[in-house]
Amino acid sequence: MSKVKLNLIAAACENMGIGTNGTLPWRLKKEMAYFTTMTTQVSDPTKVNAVIMGRRTWDCIPDKYRPLDNRINIVMTHNVDSVKENVPEGVIVVPGLDEAISYIEKRPDIEATWVIGGSSIYKAAMTHENCGKIYLTEIQKSFDCDTFFPNIDKQQFHLVDEEKIPSEKQVEGDISYYFRVYKRL
């Protein structure tokens, strides 16, 4: 059994929506900065983190931000060959989560692994034995969405207090949200 822990990170609104029409339903500058910090920061400066995403999530990242800087970008797809032709060199393309984990196991320079969506990838990671914590930003508003965060089984995952993560309500314009962390029992 591998020691690769999968940390999930997502922002979801009241109806658990995470996306619409291939984009994020909101624009929250500080929330995005939190995503960048969490997925990038390492305690060992000789290491880097990996981000695992589905092909649609790859597509939703603006061209100028992809691949995501200072992180090993791993894209999951059922069409490895065709996607490989359409991503820059250095981006790892794999057919599934187990192949992503195998790749990470062979890279001792990877410190932490972040699963960054979307729905089907979050679901696969949440039910995987290597699933660690879920970093969920709970946005206190409803948006029209066509993609949703999977149900969190509260028998399996419980809310924890994390040092370093602000526990107070965050406010950006007319939108407020909380940074929550769930840990598997």
What is the set of active-site residues? 24, 31
Binding to ligand FOL in span 123-142, by CB under 6 A: 137
Neighbouring C-beta atoms of residue 37, cutoff 10 Å = 9
Q: Which is closer to ligand FOL, CB of 61 or CB of 91?
A: 61
Q: Does 157 bind ligand FOL (CB under 6 A)?
A: no
Q: Which of 10, 94, 110, 145 touches ligand FOL (CB under 6 A)?
A: 10
164: left (phi over 0), alpha (psi -120 to 50) or beta: left
Interface with ligand FOL (CB under 6 A), residue total 19
Q: Which one, 34 or 155, has the nearer CB to ligand FOL?
A: 34
Site string for ligand FOL, 68-107 (x = CB under 6 A): xx--------------------------------------
Q: Which stretch binds ligand FOL (CB under 6 A): 53-61, 78-86, 92-100, 153-161?
A: 53-61
**For residues 108 and 75, what is the distance between their CA atoms, to the nearest angstrom?**
19
Determine, following the binding rule CB under 6 A, whether residue 116 of this chain makes contact with ligand FOL: yes
Yes or no: say if 115 and 125 are a contact pair by the CB < 8 Å rule. yes
CA dihedral 79, 95, 89, 108 (to 10 degrees): 180
**Which CB atom, from 3 or from 29, has the smaller least distance to ligand FOL?**
29
Sorted by sequence, the CB contacts under 8 Å of residue 67 that are 6+ apart come out as 73, 87, 88, 90, 91
Q: How far apart (Å, rounded) are the C-alpha atoms in residues 24 and 168?
A: 23
In angstroms, rounded to a whole number, what is the distance separating the alpha carbons of residues 47 and 58?
23
Specify whether the CB–CB gap between 109 and 47 falls below 8 A: yes
Q: Which of 31, 52, 56, 150 touches ligand FOL (CB under 6 A)?
A: 31
CB of 68 to ligand FOL, least distance (A): 5
**Which residues are near ligand FOL by CB under 6 A?**
9-11, 24, 31-32, 34-36, 57, 60-62, 65, 68-69, 116-117, 137
